[in-house]
Amino acid sequence: MIHHNNRRLRAALITIIVAAVTALAPLGASAQQQAPIRFAIQTWPGVTVKTEVARQILDAMGYPSTLQELSPQFVYQGIRTGDVDVSLGAWMPAHKDMVQPLLDDGVAVKYAANLEGAVQGLAVPSYVYEQGIHSVEDLVANGDAFNHKIYAIGSGAAMTRAFQDAVKDDYMGLGDWSVVPSSVAGMLAQVKRKTGRKEAIVFHGWKPHWMDIAYDIRFLEADPEGRLAGMKTTVYTIVATGWPGDHAQPARFLRQFNVPTDAQSLWIDRYNRQDQPVDEVATTWIRENMDLVGQWVDGVRTPDGTPGIEAVRAHFSD
């Protein structure tokens, strides 16, 4: 009788264990399927905060990610080599020379516009603009006032290369000018110094950015070939070919992730000028703007099928 009861007990335990394993298997499989989304960014304030906002929302929905900070050309090279899944910083047309080869070769997709209405190109302080410097022609005609220098950001940036190519090509008479590349902070330090003295300076300006809040600046009129000034810009999300099909829920979020320019200017101001930590900037903004976040995650579900907005609200309610 004792042996018989032991056999029945062992059978019952085996049944319980099998049932438990069966119940947990889908959860384990789901967790295994959520390989981190590999983001890469250029180290610019706007895309830094924008990517942090996206990553925090994705993480709240159960989709983890990793982040690499790279120069622009290496961001796109990473997509080509299969080391990067997503970049939110493709400024077009400025990045066309770097992005188009990836599209032509079928290794990347211009997936969605995440920022529209941006402007970039040569900029001057308003007091310089009011003195008649409205275009590249005006700039060239008054080169001595600017010491024949264009202040720019890092040498790998697309617009910096465009300025350098214009000098090399003697485009519109810029052959005797030089480009002074620096970090964004370094370039804007020059702007601050020059504007404090009411001296002439021409530099790489863009908005959304806090420079448009901190300094009274004007953008030069578009040049005939659209190489240097007055460039209307759309910023795109670039993803590796095939990635959206394998990651339908995060891909849906990224398709709907479109940032108002005033929101990005606010992010940049808090992060770059007020020196707030990027994670705090993102978290605070998400909590204050749940209605817009709800539009971004509309129809998105977590790995276990929960509506994304429920997971996001729960995560950021603490």
Q: Provide the residue type at 97 as one letter.
A: D
Considering only CA atoms, which of 136, 116, 112 is closest in space to residue 226? 136
Pick the closest to residue 187 from 44, 73, 40 (CA basis). Answer: 44
- Report the C-alpha gap between 280 and 283 in whole angstroms: 5
DSSP state of 170: T
Q: How many CB atoms lie within 10 A of CB 22?
A: 9
Give the integer Cα–Cα distance in Å for 91 and 115: 9
Pairing of strands 231-240, 86-92: antiparallel
Rounded-to-integer distance, Cα 152 and Cα 140, Å: 17
Q: Is a pLDDT exceeding 60 seen at residue 13?
A: no
Q: How far is CA 269 from CA 119, 232, 234, 265, 278, in A?
A: 17, 21, 20, 6, 11
The yes-or-no verdict on residue 9 having pLDDT over 50 is no
How far from the centroid of its chain's Cα atoms is residue 199's Cα? 33
Q: What is residue 155's predicted lDDT score, i.e. its pLDDT?
A: 85
Judge whether residue 231 has pLDDT over 80: yes
Class of 119-232 per CATH? alpha beta
Contact present, 308 and 302 (Cβ < 8 Å): yes
pLDDT confidence of 33, banded at 50, 70, 90? low
Domain range list for the chain: 36-117+233-315, 119-232
Long-range (24+ apart) CB contacts under 8 A made by 103-109 are 105/80, 106/241, 107/79, 107/80, 107/240, 107/241, 108/76, 108/79, 108/80, 108/238, 108/239, 108/240, 108/241, 109/238, 109/239, 109/240, 109/241, 109/244
Q: Is the pLDDT of residue 214 over 60?
A: yes
Per DSSP, the three-state class of 177 is: coil
Beta bridge partners of 217: 125
Tokens at 284, concatenated: 């605070």
pTM: 0.72
Q: Residue 40 in contact with residue 67, Cβ under 8 Å?
A: yes
Which residue has better confidence, 11 or 160? 160
Of 213, 208, 212, which is closest to residue 265 (Cα–Cα)?
208
- Most confident segment among 121-125, 152-156, 206-210: 121-125
For residue 171, with 0-12 CB atoms within 10 Å meaning exposed, 13-18 middle and 19 or more buried, which class applies? buried
Per-residue model confidence (pLDDT) at position 93: 85
**What pLDDT, on a 0 to 100 scale, did the predictor assign at position 246?**
95
pLDDT for 15 equals 40
Statement: residue 18 has pLDDT above 90: no
pLDDT grade, residue 16 (50/70/90)? very low
Domain 36-117+233-315 has CATH 3.90.600.10: no
CA distance 172 to 102: 31
User: What span, in angstroms and rounded, lies between the C-alpha atoms of 69 and 63?
Assistant: 20
pLDDT digits (tens, 9 = 90+) for 164-194: 999 999 999 999 999 999 998 999 999 999 9
Q: Which of 238, 269, 239, 235 has the alpha carbon at shortest distance from 120?
A: 235
Q: pLDDT for 64-107, tens place per residue?
A: 999 999 999 999 999 999 999 999 999 998 899 999 999 999 99
Compute the average pLDDT of residues 196-210.
95
**pLDDT class of 212 with cuts at 50, 70, 90:** confident
Q: Give me the phi and psi of 9, to 5 degrees please.
A: -65, -45
Say if residue 45's pLDDT is above 60: yes
Mean pLDDT, the chain, whole residue set: 90
